[in-house]
Structure 1
């Protein structure tokens, strides 16, 4: 049985892994996280709990119905007229059905229904906010993988070129046309380039692990992404004010804060309603029986059957400041919710502004990196040609090569940084993330 259970579990895991994409696009990552992210699913369960609270609040308008039944058996001595006694056993029973419904309670039930409905909306907005947070993290991790992959391709080309240069230098050293120190310098550069390649490959694996953990994929799953053909890094951006206005109108954290104020106000209305009387209607049906030789069991139930209806009025007169305290604390909660919304708006405005500044800086760095790469690439090409014909100064060549490597890495970094910042900035405006 244990072997069969283990086999079934392994087969289920294999099936789960088989159902996953072979190569993941960015949209695949979003879709998978939307359905499988633990935090998102936990918030969905919270929303389901809020739905039950709303149903319970609506049910408070309906009458309740309770039934009760008791049956007793009593034994004891009974004295007779002649002074003797005997042991007798008596039975008795009571059976009833009771119902009550609230007619007026200061509109508390309606306030509570509206409050629970708003809480349900807030639960849905919490899901949307978590989805937004996960979307940003996934986008950043996905672009980091693309950055590391492109860096590997570039560094691999550098290693190939360095190996060819060492081979050419070795041939020249063998015929005595260059000194040993020049050959050693190129060999050291090749070793350094290979070390850089290993570092780039490690970074690529680490970035894949980060995204894999964000998606909460199985450890044994071989995770690979589908690389887009091009990455657009330089795009026209809208003004800061327009982006902030759109964010204030669409972001779930703002709507959640606004609903929080409404919930607090409804709580205040419920606290004020506690000063008002409560009117309820009641009704009951019941019967009873006991040991009476003159009547049968069912005859007693018929004779003792009763019906009752009535009204119940409860008026709060003195509550030892309970209602007053609840009202004042509800006022404070309204003020706190207002401040929380103000803080959320301020924080969002600052976040959007920081994203706007990041986009401007990233695009300026990208433009500068493109120009820098253009000139360093030409300088490196000239130095490489001079090395090929044997007229290059080794120190100058290595310096030009290092400058070219640094410029290319700055170009790659700035390209993906610009792509990331502009997508995050647009995402705050409600634009879906696409590569």
Structure 2
């Protein structure tokens, strides 16, 4: 009995973490951290960074000499010669065998001593490419965080819209129920009752639409997190009040200056200029001579020799060392074309940096203006909701007493719903743009 109890406890203990994991509520920070670990595009960028590390090592390896071993073996048949003479190493070998076998063995070394600084500049280029690849990873991480923040705030907006539509549906249903009583009493017509019934159906439709939008936003979030679209995902949605909405915006100029110094897309463009400048030096190296050092050690053997294999290897052994100089004279305009293209690439990279800077300024300016407009709209919508709510309550009370008709009631109700939707839209637009502004200013994304 005791053993059965212990087994039951063990099973429940093992199942508890699984249950907790299933019931986990995802915060914005959880979503971001998970996406940074699992997102496929980000992992591909990290692989590209690893490839660039290998390219740096390959470029550095070109500074060292190369060493290779080669061997060749031949079977020679002379069907119409009664006697043949061959030279093998230091021997002159004569043989009456029509078929002979020979082998050669060689150890070769090659070392480029100087080629106009091309190898050193190539190493610098590969290091720059590695840094650019690293910035591409950071840029993808930033984009991923921004997209998740947008979707998370859209989910907050959709969730609050659902609550508004639920409350509206409750009011419509209560109003319709009261209208049925008034209809029985003869206070309203059947047409008025039908209008109120149609309004209930319309409010149900709006609620379904809001719920559909929420499901769609959640699906997009799952895709960014590389989660199964059919899996249930519970989100820990924070409650954001007026303090979050009306928070003072940071200085637009300060944000831009900080972003210029920290944003990876700007740093990447700056490195591209440096890389293009190195490309000009690499292209110019084609005009300079190349000095190379070579060395080899080799020997040969022949089956017709009277010496054994070891003696043939010893007596046939020879060593060679040499230096070569290659001077380009006429290369069908290849070097000139390479230099011209490198200079054009340098100019293009400068324009690319200017374009990125303008794009960054435009993005920050748009976010700042949208945030400011959303805050002003929220303040106006807040006042409008209060006045619309008061007006609707009064008309609703008068309708229940038979003093207002259906058209007046529905007009006030729609005005209230419109004001509520405007307020919630302005609220989350202000929060979204302010959150992104803080991120461009170098702060962590958080609500």
What is the TM-score of this pair, normalised by structure 2?
0.88
Distance 2:403 2:303 in 1: 127
- Cα separation, 2, equivalents of 1:398 and 1:142: 33
Q: Which residue of 1 aligns with 2:252?
A: 240
Q: Alpha-carbon deviations, 1:176-207, whole Å to 9, x = none?
A: 34443443332222222222212211222222
Shift in Å at residue 249 of structure 1? 1.0
> CA contact under 8 A between 2:118 and 2:282: conserved in structure 1?
yes
Pairing partner for 2:281 from 269, 287, 291: 269
Counterpart position of 2:39? 37
Among 64, 68, 71, the alignment partner of 1:69 is 71
Aligned residue among 49, 52, 70 for 2:51: 49
Give how far 1:386 is off.
2.2
1:268 to partner: Cα distance: 0.5
Q: Taking structure 1 as reference, are residues 172 and 293 closer, same or farther at Cα in structure 2, changes over 3 Å only?
A: closer
Query: Which structure 1 segments of 5+ residues have no match?
Result: 1-14
Aligned to 1:119: 129
* RMSD, aligned α-carbons: 2.3
Query: Following superposition of structure 1 onto structure 2, how do residues 309-328 of structure 1 map, counting pairs within 5 Å?
Result: 309-328=321-340
Equivalence for 1:94: 104
* Match among 218, 226, 231 for residue 236 of structure 2: 226
- Distance in 2, Cα, partners of 1:296 & 1:356: 89
1:109 maps to which residue?
119
Whole-Å separation in 2 of the counterparts to 1:385 and 1:293: 124
- Asked if 1:160 is matched to 2:163, the reply is no
Equivalent residue, structure 1, for 2:353: 341
State how far apart, in whole Å, the 2-side matches of 1:317 and 1:348 are: 48
In structure 1, the residue matched to 2:212 is: 202
Q: Give 1:6's aligned residue.
A: none
Q: Report if the CA contact (8 A) 1:40-1:131 is conserved.
A: yes
Tell me how far apart the structure 2 counterparts of residues 98 and 407 of structure 1 sit (CA, whole Å).
Answer: 85
Partner SS state of residue 245, structure 2: coil
Residue 66 (structure 1) shift: 0.7
Alignment of 1:354-365 (within 5 A): 354-365=366-377
Count the aligned residue pairs: 418
For residues 24-53 of structure 1, give each alpha carbon's deviation from its aligned partner in whole angstroms, at most 9, with x where no partner exists: 211121112212212111211111111111
State the SS of the aligned residue for 1:319: coil
For 2:159, the equivalent position in structure 1 comes to: 149
| Contact kept in structure 2, 1:67 and 1:97, CA below 8 Å | yes
Offset at 1:17? Answer: 12
Partner SS for 1:401? helix
Mapped partners of 2:67, 2:50: distance in 1 = 27
Match of 1:287 in 2: 299
Equivalent-residue separation in structure 1 for 2:275 and 2:374 (angstroms): 42
Distance 2:20 2:132 in 1: 37
Q: What stretches of structure 2 of length at least 5 have no aligned partner?
A: 1-16, 85-94
Shift of 1:434: 0.7
**How far does residue 147 in structure 1 lie from its aligned partner after superposition?**
1.0
Counterpart of 1:62 in 2: which secondary structure?
A: coil
Per the alignment, in what secondary structure is the counterpart of residue 274 of structure 1? helix
Aligned to 1:259: 271
- Checking the alignment, whether the CA contact within 8 Å between 1:17 and 1:221 is kept in structure 2 is no
Deviations 1:71-118 (A, max 9, x none): 11212243269xxx9652211111010011222222211111110000
Asked if the contact 2:83–2:97 (Cα under 8 Å) also holds between the matched residues in 1, the reply is no
Give the aligned partner of residue 187 of structure 1: 197
Q: 1:297 to 1:139 in 2, by over 3 A?
A: same
How does the TM-score come out when normalised to structure 1?
0.90
Give 1:7's aligned residue: none
> Which residue is equivalent to 2:7?
none
Report what 1:12 is aligned to: none
For 1:311 and 1:369, locate their aligned partners in 2 and report how far apart those are by CA, in whole Å. 84
Question: Aligned-pair distance for 1:148?
Answer: 1.1
Instruction: Name the SS for the 1:128 alignment partner.
Output: helix
Deviation digits for residues 329-369 of structure 1 (CA, Å, limit 9, x no counterpart) = 11111111111111111111112111121111111111111
Deviation, 1:168, is 2.2
Going from structure 1 to structure 2, the CA distance change for 1:176 and 1:363 (only over 3 Å counts) comes to same
Aligned to 2:378: 366
Contact 1:104 1:280 in 2 (8 A): yes
